Structure 1
Amino acid sequence: MAVSKEEAHLMSKDDKPIPQSALQSPISASANLASSMTSSAASDQGLLYRTRQYVATQTVAAFIAGGIAGAVSRTVVSPLERLKILYQVQGTGGPSYTGIGASLAKMWREEGWRGFLRGNGTNCIRIVPYSAVQFSSYTIYKDFFLRPGETQLDTQRRLLAGGMAGITSVVATYPLDICRTRLSIHTASLEALGKTGQRVKIPGMWETMIHMYKHEGGVLALYRGLIPTLAGVAPYVGLNFACYEQIREWMTPEGEKAPGPLGKLACGAMSGAIAQTFTYPFDLLRRRFQVNTMSGLGFKYNSIWHAITSIVRQEGLRGMYKGIIPNLLKVAPSMASSWFSYELVKDFLMALDTEKSDL
């Protein structure tokens, strides 16, 4: 059969005809392109919808909101947080920091505004995953302890769920916490350390952790003080969550789902203050063990009981509550901003699964 010149021209070098799709008219090609673009747009919308649905799930929303809440709350109270740590570790030999106002002025005079935020970067690096894990794991433990047909836990199970959430978050982020403590006191003019506000080279976070790992006992050095920390954090977090939810129920107007913004701030402030007052001695023990091997501070505790008896004998019962005043002053704004930020972000994220409009 003879092949015309036009057909021969349309044959490729290997004598295979060019596909018909390459011979489509401009109108057909435009229609196919439009169809392809529509399919791509539909696929993108499907991905966006699935992403929004995933982010709006309770655990994921709690994780994201918890991380944001932690960063906000710690930055707000960073000067008082650092001052509390300095009070806790300075011991009895001629305290360098006395009085909240005078201590803050001393910090400003010797270190400037950076002194107020010393260690806050590391603290935020620690607190974002810490708070995220804590809030999200609390929602998981709450669901685990709920019996069929229940929507709320009783006080005992709230305490248990909160305590387990506290333990989970501490174990996950403890090396960052001990590193933050070291950085917080590194530039302070503590008499026990022989420092009077002179300029010193400030180590970085990783440099501090590597030094501890190499020279203070390996991995165990990064978890020094973990036991008293867990002993204090578990009841603290349990009390904090249980008190917040109970106070929140009391302050919610009848017919409403939640209190207003000021009510939420008040709930967070009160729950944090109550929890911290009951568990503060454990927090002090945690700080003392974290600096137990630092030369100059004079702390050589062999066990938790040895630490308690030594502190009470040398510093009196009040020694177990050193730094509680700046701590309580920071707890109210810290927990208020934390809970308020958490609820605000979580409500926004969980609302995404009902919104039909594009972001």
Structure 2
Amino acid sequence: MADVVVALEQPNKIKKVLQKNASVAFVAGGVAGAVSRTVVSPFERVKILLQVQSSSESYSGGISSAVKELYKEEGIRGLFRGNGLNCIRVFPYSAVQFLVYEGSKRFLFHVDDINNDQKLTTFQRLFSGALCGGASVLATYPLDLVRTRLAIQTANLRKLQKAKAASLTKPPGVWQLLCDTYLQEGGIRGLYRGVWPTSLGVVPYVALNFCVYERLREFVPSQSAYMLTIGAISGGVAQAATYPFDLLRRRFQVLAMGQSELGFHYSGVADALVTIGKTEGFRGYYRGLQANLFKVIPSTAVSWLVYELTRDSIRAL
């Protein structure tokens, strides 16, 4: 009789564990994303500005000079312009990533806290990472598009005419940008403008990030310094490998804002790749990479550290 009771209770016990782990992954992932992006917000905005400018219109003098110039033009608020929206976007974006990744491990490959002696193979990690990357893009892409436009609309882009710049002294807010994009650019299709090149960049980036981090995690102790280090390595490797598509992501997001002012126009991903190669050379594919690494390396390191610390803290409650 006792054996029967245990057998009946086991499924409920497993269900509760899985539900708890899903909630923990969602909350910890969201907190990790918001904290990490706030830390590197100035570099994120500079990177976006570099990505959407032509080679003759870029900030000069390096990353620190670009940050100083942006600060001089717009003050401290300029360095963090769009960060509030970014945190609103990144919380579910990061939360969905960790939730889907943990769910993939448990339900597709049957690796969870109940049989944690098992480990995913490299292919399984890449597949789970790609799955969670795609899910996070679909869940939060309209906010990402608006955040990009919010980040560049007040910038002192060299080709903007003075009259045009003057009209942007009081730029539209998040809700107005969302409404304008929806009404003027084809509804839902407008809100997801650029989602294809974005997915081409985000999916392999997230897959590599999760795979490299978890592989390295097997060889280091659970100490903050080690977790920061391998988080930085995983983010740097993943970003360097997929950066050209991140550049395409930003450019496609702002095409409809004014093609003549920004100086580029593409009919599709293939056309964009060919055009950038012809007009900007090989270096054009990596415009803004330095600024992005300044952002991605510490951001990824902090994200993984905060995720693990938050997850362990919640589980200890």
Does TM-score exceed 0.5, indicating one fold?
Answer: yes
Q: Percent identical across equivalent pairs?
A: 50
> Structure 1 54/120 Cα, relative in aligned 2: closer, same or farther at 3 Å?
farther
User: 1:201 aligned to 2:201?
Assistant: no
Q: C-alpha distance in 2, partners of 1:323/1:62? A: 32
> Structure 1 220/57 Cα, relative in aligned 2: closer, same or farther at 3 Å?
same
The corresponding residue for 2:109 is: 146
Deviation at 1:192, TM superposition (A): 2.2
Counterpart mapping for 1:183-194 below 5 A: 183-194=150-161
Q: TM-score, normalised by structure 1?
A: 0.78
Q: C-alpha distance in 2, partners of 1:129/1:147? A: 25
Where does the alignment leave 5 or more consecutive residues of structure 2 unmatched? 1-15
Counting matched residue pairs gives 295
AA aligned to 1:207 is Q
The corresponding residue for 2:10 is: none
Q: C-alpha distance in 2, partners of 1:91/1:213? A: 27
**Contact 2:208–2:238 (CA under 8 A) maintained in structure 1:** yes
Q: C-alpha distance in 2, partners of 1:80/1:325? A: 10
Counterpart mapping for 1:337-348 below 5 A: 337-348=302-313
Q: Which one of the candidate residues 123, 136, 143 is aligned to 1:176? A: 143
Q: Which one of the candidate residues 35, 51, 58 is aligned to 1:72? A: 35
User: 1:228 aligned to 2:191?
Assistant: no
Counterpart mapping for 1:1-359 below 5 A: 57-96=20-59, 98-147=61-110, 151-194=118-161, 200-252=169-221, 259-295=222-258, 296-352=261-317
> Structure 1 210/197 Cα, relative in aligned 2: closer, same or farther at 3 Å?
closer
**Contact 2:57–2:157 (CA under 8 A) maintained in structure 1:** no
Q: C-alpha distance in 1, partners of 2:107/2:212? A: 20
Q: C-alpha distance in 1, partners of 2:17/2:118? A: 22
Q: Which has the higher contact order (CA 8 A, sep 6+)?
A: 2
> Structure 1 66/147 Cα, relative in aligned 2: closer, same or farther at 3 Å?
closer
**Contact 1:73–1:338 (CA under 8 A) maintained in structure 2:** yes
**Contact 1:67–1:129 (CA under 8 A) maintained in structure 2:** yes
Q: TM-score, normalised by structure 2?
A: 0.89
AA aligned to 2:73 is E
The corresponding residue for 2:13 is: none
Q: State the SS of the aligned residue for 1:164.
A: helix
Where does the alignment leave 5 or more consecutive residues of structure 1 unmatched? 1-52, 253-258, 353-359
Q: RMSD over aligned Cα, in angstroms?
A: 2.0
1:102-161 Cα shifts (integer Å, max 9, x gaps): 211111111000011011011111001101111111100111232587721011110000
AA aligned to 1:306 is D
* Runs of at least 4 residues off by over 3 Å: 53-56, 147-150, 195-199
| Higher normalized helix content (fraction of residues) | 2
Which structure has the bigger radius of gyration? 1
**Contact 2:33–2:91 (CA under 8 A) maintained in structure 1:** yes
Q: C-alpha distance in 1, partners of 2:295/2:262? A: 25
Q: C-alpha distance in 1, partners of 2:18/2:124? A: 27
Deviation at 1:62, TM superposition (A): 0.5
Q: C-alpha distance in 1, partners of 2:133/2:95? A: 11
